[in-house]
Amino acid sequence: MSCRSGNFRKQALSDEILMRVEKPARYIGNELNSVRKDLEKIDIRFAMCFPDVYEIGMSHLGIQILYELFNRRPDTWCERVYSPWPDLHRIMKEEKIPLFALESQDALKQFDFLGITLQYEMCYTNILQILDLAQIPFYAKERGEEHPLVIGGGPCAYNPEPIAAFFDLFYIGEGEEQYDALLNLYKKMKKEQKGRAAFLHEAAKLEGIYVPSLYAASYHEDGTLAAFTPLADDIPKKIKKQVDRNLTDSVYPEKPVVPFLKATQDRIVLEIQRGCIRGCRFCQAGMIYRPNREKDVSRLKELAQKMIASTGYEEISLSSLSSSDYSQLEELVEFLIGECREKGINISLPSLRIDAFSLDVMSKVQDVRKSSLTFAPEAGSQRLRNVINKGLTEEDILHGAKEAFSGGWNKVKLYFMLGLPTETEADIRAIPELANEIAMLYYDTVPKEERNGKCQITISTSFFVPKPFTPFQWASMGAPEDYIAKAGIVNGHLREQLNHKSIRYNWHEAEVTVLEGVLARGDRRLSDVIKKAYENGAFFDAWSEFFDFGKWLDAFEACGLSIDFYNRRVRFEEELFPWDFLDAGVTKEFLLREWKNALAETVTPNCRQQCSGCGARTFGGGVCFEDKN
SS (H, E, C) 21-69: CCCHHHHCCCCECCCCCCHHHCCEEEEEEECCCHHHHCCCHHHHHHHHH
Nearest Cα to Cα of residue 101 among 127, 71, 134 = 134
Three-state DSSP state, 268: strand
Count Cα neighbours of 86 within 13 Å in the Cβ-side half-sphere. 10
Q: What is the pLDDT of residue 570?
A: 87
Query: Does 257 map to a domain?
Result: no
Radius of gyration of the chain (CA): 25
Of the candidates 32, 3, 26, 31, which has an alpha carbon nearest to the alpha carbon of residue 13? Answer: 26
**Cα separations in angstroms, 225 against 11, 168, 233, 525, 574:** 48, 22, 21, 11, 11
Angle at 157 between CA 250 and CA 587, to 5 degrees: 85
What is the per-residue burial (b if ≥16 Cβ within 10 Å, else e) of 516-528?
Answer: bbbbbbbbbbbbb
What pLDDT is attached to residue 337? 92
> 310 in a domain, yes or no?
no
Asked, for residue 81, whether it belongs to a domain, the answer is yes
Find out whether 407 and 476 touch, Cβ atoms under 8 Å.
no
139 lies in a domain? yes
Q: Give the DSSP letter string of 472-494.
A: GGG-----HHHHHHHHHHHHHHH
Q: Is 501 exposed, middle or buried (0-12, 13-18, 19+ CB in 10 A)?
A: exposed
For residues 394 and 434, the answer to whether their CB atoms sit within 8 Å is yes
Q: How many CB atoms lie within 10 A of CB 452?
A: 12
Inside any domain, residue 213? yes
pLDDT value, residue 125? 98
Report the number of secondary-structure helices (H) and strands (E) in the chain: 20, 19
Where in the sequence is the domain holding 147, given as residue range(s)? 15-237
Distance CA 557, CA 559 (A): 5
pLDDT given at position 86: 98
Can you give the pLDDT at residue 352? Answer: 85
| Helix, strand, coil % over all residues of the chain, rounded to 5 | 40, 15, 45
**Under 8 Å between Cβ of 363 and 371:** no
DSSP-based three-state secondary structure for 245: coil
Closest CA to 439 of 468, 401, 406: 401
Determine, yes or no, domain membership for 209: yes
| Dist. CA 203–CA 167, nearest whole Å | 14
In total, the chain counts a number of residues equal to 629
pTM of the model: 0.96
DSSP state for residue 354 in the 8-state scheme: -
- Say what the pLDDT of residue 3 is: 37
Which residue in 389, 393, 392 sits closest to 605, CA to CA? 389
List C-alpha distances in Å: 41 to 50, 218, 280: 26, 46, 48
DSSP symbols for 121-160: GGGHHHHHHHHHHHT--SSGGG--TTSPEEEEESGGGGS-
Task: Examine residue 253 and state whether it is found in any structural domain, yes or no.
Answer: no
Give a yes or no: residue 314 inside a domain: no
Count of domains forming the chain? 1
Please tell me the predicted confidence (pLDDT) of residue 628: 56
pLDDT for the residue numbered 361: 81
DSSP letters spanning 64-106: HHHHHHHHTSTTEEEEEEEPPPHHHHHHHHHHTPPPB-TTT--
From CA 394, how far away is CA 377, in angstroms rounded? 9
CA distance 472 to 464: 10
Divide the 629 residues of the chain into consecutive groups of 10 and give the mean pLDDT of each group: 49 97 96 96 98 96 97 98 98 98 98 98 98 98 98 98 98 96 98 97 98 98 97 97 96 96 90 96 98 97 97 94 93 93 88 81 74 90 98 92 89 96 98 97 92 91 98 97 97 96 94 98 98 98 97 98 96 97 98 98 96 95 80
